[in-house]
Every structure is written in C-alpha cells, then in structure tokens.
Amino acid sequence: MKIQAVKGTRDFYPEEMALRNWIVDGWKRVSVRNGFAEFDGPIFEYLQMYQVKSGDEIVEQLFSFEDRGERKLAIRPEITPTLARMVNQRINSLPRPIKWFSVPRLCRAERPQKGRLREFFQWNIDTIGVDDVYADAEVIFTTIDYLQETGLTAKDIQAKISSRRLLKALFEAAGFVDDELPALYLLLDKKSKLPAETFNEMLEEKVADPARRKIVAQIMGVKELNEVSRLMKLPEEASAAMAELEELFALLEVMGISDYCKFDIGIVRGLAYYTGIVFEVHDIKGELRAVCGGGRYDNLLKDFGGPAVPATGMGMGDCVLEILLRERGLIDESLAARRLDYFVAVLDEALRKDAIALTARLRRKGMRVEMSYKGGGLGKQLKAASDIGASTCVIMGREYIEERKVAVKDMATGVQKLVGTEELLVMP
Ligand code: HAM
C-alpha cells in the first residue's frame, strides 16, 4: 500500500525546513526587539473554546474529535483563544501590559488553495491590558518591521486598516441590530474574494430590505477616511471611532511606516471577536490572499470568564509570505546549503580511527565537522568535502604519523599548510 501525505499538509525536507527556520527565526527576532515574550499552549483544546467566540467560519473548519473519555476536543485553528484562556488563568499575577508572541502550528480544514493549507505555522503577537491606540499602532509597526526586514517594500505590500467599532456604529445608525452584525461581517469579509454577482445574491439573502442594502453599499464604497462623515450625520460612537483611526494614522506616521498603511473600509475580518481597529496586510497587486490579519478584541477575555481586559494583536501565516518572498526573489536559495568548518580526509585507511578521534574532538570544540564514511582515494574524499559544503579540508597522512601534523587545505583557494593537531583544536 502506497501511503501519501494528506492533502493540504506539507513535508519539510531539510531544504524546506531551512526556509521554515529562517522565517520563524525572523519572526522571533523581530518579536523580541519589539518587546514581546514567547509563549505556547497545547495543540488541542476543548472544542467548546472555539465555538464560543471565534465565529462560524472557524467552527466549520475545525478538526475535532472525541477522546476515549468522550471529551469533545479540537486541534487549534488559531492561538488567540488559548492566549485568552492562559492570561485569564493568571490575570492577577501577570505584570501588565502583557506582550506575548507565539509561533504555533495550526490546523484548519479549509479547501487547500494558493496560500491556504490545512496545516500551517502562524506568527502571533498580542498586547493585553492596554486600551491606548498606541498598542494597535505597535502591533502594526512590529508586523511591518518584520516584512521590511525580509526585503519587502511599500511597493510590494500594504497594511489596510479599518475599524469594527466604526462599522458597528455606522451599521447601527443604518438600522441594523447587534445580532445581525456577525453574519454581515462574515459576508463583507468575503466580498473581495467573491464575484460581484455572488456577493450581491448573498447580501440579498442576509439583508432583505433594499434600502438597507443600499446603505451597506454606500458604507462599503467609502474610499477615504474623510468621506465617512459625508455618509450620514455621524453618531457619537462613530465620531469616537473616527478620532481613534485618525490618532492611529498619526502614530503610524511618527513611527515612519505611513507609506505602508492605508485606510480601507473593506477590511472587516472574518473572526467574530474583533471590536475595534482591524487590519490586514495584502500584496499590492491584490493577487494573493491576506499575508496577515489582526485587530483589537476587547471582550474576548471577559467572554472566556475573565475580567474585562482590552487586547490587540495579529496573526501571520507562513504560506502567503513564502509565495510573496519567492515571487520577489527575496529568498536566499543557499539557505539549505550545509556549511561545514572542516572535512577530515585520510591518505591511509590505517588512519581511519585517528580521523574519527580528531573529528570527535573538533566537534566537541563546537566546530561543524564531517568525514568520509567510505574512505577511498584523496580525490574522492575532496570531492565529497566540496559537495557537502566544507570550507576547509583537514588531511591526515604521513606527517600525522610522524609528527602529529595535518595538512589544512582551503577549499576555495587550494592553499594548504601543515598545522599541529593541538594547534588546530584551538584555531579560531
Ligand atoms: P486569521 O485572519 O484567521 O486571524 O489568520 C491570520 C493569518 O493566518 C492569515 O492572514 C494567514 O496569513 C494565516 N492563515 C489563516 N488560515 C490559513 C490557512 N488555512 N493556511 C495558511 N495560512 C493561513 C487569526 O488567526 C487571528 N487569531 C489573528 C489574531 C491574533 N488576531 C489577534 N491576535
């Protein structure tokens, strides 16, 4: 029986693993320099945890199962609920603000497509305990900080920013009630991914009244922040949400990333728990799915039985990022190349044990060392050394037997010199 990998999963051969590690190392480095500390949680949780507040879309995509104790469990499709649960558990002892990051492996039973798989890695940064809009600005800054570091510029990507608080205030002013909003958000989140006709049909299904559909279209048709006030006489809550967005854009300007950021009322986000500023980073050409997404979720900790503590954060998967980096030629193709300090070769098979001993001693000193398993002529061994990426070859021959000296050969220049083994062990 030929067994294959499950659709939507990936095998990480050393080459792919090198790339994954490079991406993850960058996420971690940028998190730390922006003041976030790493955390992790279990890969499965009680199913109920995702049914409470993540929204219908995530629930449909859950890999869920029952354990032998008939507990209903699910593999994590995101880590934000775990984060909320963990913070709630220690809410009184954790120093605030809580700035945490994580790189969980996640599973969603989505239809595999370009940039969306069923198993992926997702960088998360979250700040808990700060309601100041500076925390939202910092999350966006950290996101762009990473993307900039990979070599992506404002010509490649853009952070599109909106506010659930503003949308809620506008929709309520237009006559929608709270209960209707989650389904409307979910549909609006899909707008750019659906053909216009399909979207209109679905909107008709959700919103029967043509007058209300018209106002939805008008709201979603807004192009600039200053056009919002032309829609209607703004209710107080909408004005407050506008002021918050204006403050956010002023901060992004001060942080030096305003050329990466743009207001876009079409950014609604699919997850149910967002309450304030929301954003997604997209490729400029709009050809790919979102690179990342996040926003403020001030009620999630309370909804999970904790106190009302504000929170804001973002999640970035590795799939679209990789496609984008590859398209822009920003992946170093030699990432996977093995880099060796020394390759130990022998001129005489009788020295094999000495070569094994020297290899072991060099490795214990922290050097990356290989030697031939097969032996054979020096030519063969030198070829093996260069195939494997050794910068220097250590050749043991007659001089070793006579005076414990080895020939150290620079593989690039071919220059060779005799060095005592003890000296070699302390060479920088
Ligand atoms: P999300 O929009 O569901 O948000 O996912 C965020 C990012 O994860 C996406 O933009 C994408 O990069 C990646 N992603 C999502 N699904 C897949 C998939 N099937 N395959 C590959 N990549 C995927 C969240 O998950 C929120 N919990 C983020 C957050 C953290 N909000 C606040 N804090």
The CB of 75 under 6 Å from ligand 1? The reply is no
Residues with Cβ within 8 Å of residue 135, at least 6 apart in sequence: 97, 127, 310, 312
The CB of 206 under 6 Å from ligand 1? The reply is no
Q: Within 10 A of 286 (CB to CB), how many other CB atoms are there?
A: 8
* End-to-end Cα distance, the chain: 52
CA of 183 to the centre of ligand 1 (A): 19
Q: Are 320 and 290 in contact (CB under 8 A)?
A: yes
- Tens of pLDDT, residue by residue over 56-78, are 788 899 999 999 999 999 999 99
- Tens of pLDDT, residue by residue over 115-129, are 999 999 999 999 999
Distance CA 35, CA 406 (A): 49
More confident residue, 163 or 187: 163
- Tens of pLDDT, residue by residue over 366-424, are 999 999 888 889 999 999 999 988 999 999 999 999 999 999 999 999 999 999 999 99
The CB of 77 under 6 Å from ligand 1? The reply is no
Distance CA 175, CA 195 (A): 27
Residues with Cβ within 8 Å of residue 296, at least 6 apart in sequence: 136, 164, 274, 275, 276, 277, 278, 310, 311, 312
Beta bridge partners of 234: none
Ligand 1 atom closest to the Cα of residue 315 is 28
Q: Are 402 and 384 in contact (CB under 8 A)?
A: no
CA of 404 to the centre of ligand 1 (A): 59
Ligand 1 atom closest to the Cα of residue 126 is 33
The CB of 237 under 6 Å from ligand 1? The reply is no
The CB of 136 under 6 Å from ligand 1? The reply is no
Distance CA 406, CA 178 (A): 79
